[in-house]
Amino acid sequence: MRAVIEGLRPRLMQIFEHLHANPELSWEEFATRDFLLPILREHNCRIQTFDKHPGIIADFGEGAPKVAVRGDMDALWQEVDGTFRANHSCGHDAHMTLALGAMMVLHVLDEKPSGAVRFIFQPAEEKAAGALKMVEEGAVDGITHLYGVHLRPVEDIPNHTAGPAILHGSTTSYLGKIHGEDAHAARPHLTAGAIQVGAHMVNLLNGIHLNPMVPFSVKMTRFIAGGKSGNIIPGSAEYCVDLRAQTNAAMRDLMAKTKKVIETAAAYHGVKIDMEQGGITAAAEVHPEAQALMAEAIHDSIGEEGYRPPVVTSGGDDFHFYTIERPELKATMLALGCDLRPGLHHPHMTFDRENLFTGTEIMTRAVLHTLRRA
């Protein structure tokens, strides 16, 4: 298989470089879709597209697909060298390339797999909404095994290693506004003061306790109050609270306690505090059979010395909504060690491109092992 992948190396690098140079934001990935479609048609995939979003379902091979590979499509909006723009700093360009690579390897193998494979190109992962939309579109109907991939920072696992699962945590946020009245800085008794309200919220958030055996965090990540006049106590402010928990049960508890904090601060200070929940990602629900098949693929591709145990991270991925919505799915995500620096979501994130080919081999072997077992 390695020789087959070497033959595809120039094409896969060309694909990656195009995707990297042409990032698109969540729900706007239509040019990305239009780039992928001819490649999928060239390899005889049966394709479904949709009028209202850029997602793609592509079936390769004969029969009803039972195994699926998901590649996320969207980029982030961030400041890069002084300019705000779309930027592939989370590795989704690599994830799409790996999915296409596995499909292209299957296409040229002398021994074709006995069964069809579905490739799901999913929009809006960064909005924690794309997986749910693709479930709604029937992307995993009839699927028994689902595989994803995510590049891992150097802090997680070393370069040229891989783990058979990523144990993401659950993430969500609360956004809103504190509504109050401004007052003269010499008369603080005439207003609650939005900054004082926010400070009280921070202290209450720091007092939240959950089961210490389950990692979690809750913190204020945005607070905007006041203007150019330093002798005014601002009565209003915008805020955001970020929540993370390693299990879905812990997240439910954390959400309830965070809501109570905001309600308590509003009541204590006598102000109105808006509270709107942002998108939520589910904690990982990894199936042991899928994890075992991915582990076998890692060992076959890079040997025992390249194998690492599942990666635990407080980051999130909406991939896990597939298994939340379809509990019968046997799913896992490949953790690909690739010397990723300085870190995910950094505007200048980079990684060792050689792992595009290692990841392609691992994913292809995982698919083949699954089809053979079936």
Cβ 137 vs Cβ 121: under 8 Å? no
Of the candidates 146, 147, 165, the residue with the CA atom closest to the CA atom of residue 156: 165
Angle at CA 159, nearest 5°, toward 154 and 160?
150
Last residue of a domain, one of 247, 277, 307: 277
**Count of C-beta atoms within a 10 Å radius of residue 160:** 16
pLDDT confidence band for 84 (50 / 70 / 90): very high
Asked whether residue 269 falls in the same domain as residue 290, the answer is no
**Helix (H) or strand (E) segment spanning residue 255:** helix 248-269
Residue-range definition of the domain harbouring residue 246: 170-277
Cβ 128 vs Cβ 318: under 8 Å? yes
Last residue of a domain, one of 213, 246, 277: 277
Domain count, the chain: 2
Asked whether residue 19 falls in the same domain as residue 84, the answer is yes
Q: Distance from CA of residue 178 to its chain's centroid?
A: 30
Of the candidates 252, 180, 267, the residue with the CA atom closest to the CA atom of residue 216: 252
Asked whether residue 186 falls in the same domain as residue 139, the answer is no
Say if residue 276 is exposed, middle or buried (CB neighbours under 10 Å; 0-12, 13-18, 19+).
exposed
Q: What pLDDT was estimated at residue 261?
A: 98
Q: Distance from CA of residue 117 to its chain's centroid?
A: 22
- Give the residue, 113 or 125, on which the prediction is more confident: 125
Asked whether residue 207 falls in the same domain as residue 258, the answer is yes
Q: Indicate the SS3 state at residue 357.
A: helix
| Percent share of the chain, pLDDT over 70 | 100
pLDDT tens digits, one per residue of 117-128: 999 999 999 998
Q: What pLDDT was estimated at residue 210?
A: 97
What number is the average pLDDT over the span 74-97?
98
Asked whether residue 112 falls in the same domain as residue 190, the answer is no
pLDDT confidence band for 59 (50 / 70 / 90): very high
Q: Is the pLDDT of residue 115 over 80?
A: yes
DSSP for 318-368, please give it.
GGGHHHHH-TT-EEEEEEEEEEEBS-TT-TT-B--TTHHHHHHHHHHHHHH
What gap in Å lies between CA 335 and CA 344, rounded to an integer? Answer: 13
Strands 145-153 and 67-72, by their bridges, are parallel
What gap in Å lies between CA 140 and CA 187, rounded to an integer? Answer: 61
What number is the average pLDDT over the span 170-194?
96
Asked whether residue 12 falls in the same domain as residue 142, the answer is yes
CATH number of the domain to which 254 belongs: 3.30.70.360
CATH number of the domain to which 57 belongs: 3.40.630.10
Q: What pLDDT was estimated at residue 108?
A: 94
pLDDT confidence band for 189 (50 / 70 / 90): very high
Asked whether residue 158 falls in the same domain as residue 15, the answer is yes
Asked whether residue 295 falls in the same domain as residue 264, the answer is no
Give this prediction's pTM: 0.87
109, two tokens: 């193998």
pLDDT tens digits, one per residue of 219-266: 999 999 999 999 999 999 999 999 999 999 999 999 999 999 999 999
Q: Which amino acid is at 252?
A: R
Q: Is the pLDDT of residue 114 over 80?
A: yes
What gap in Å lies between CA 257 and CA 267, rounded to an integer? Answer: 15
Last residue of a domain, one of 277, 303, 333: 277
DSSP for 102-141, please give it.
HHHHHHH-SS--SS-EEEEEE--TTTT-HHHHHHHTTTTT
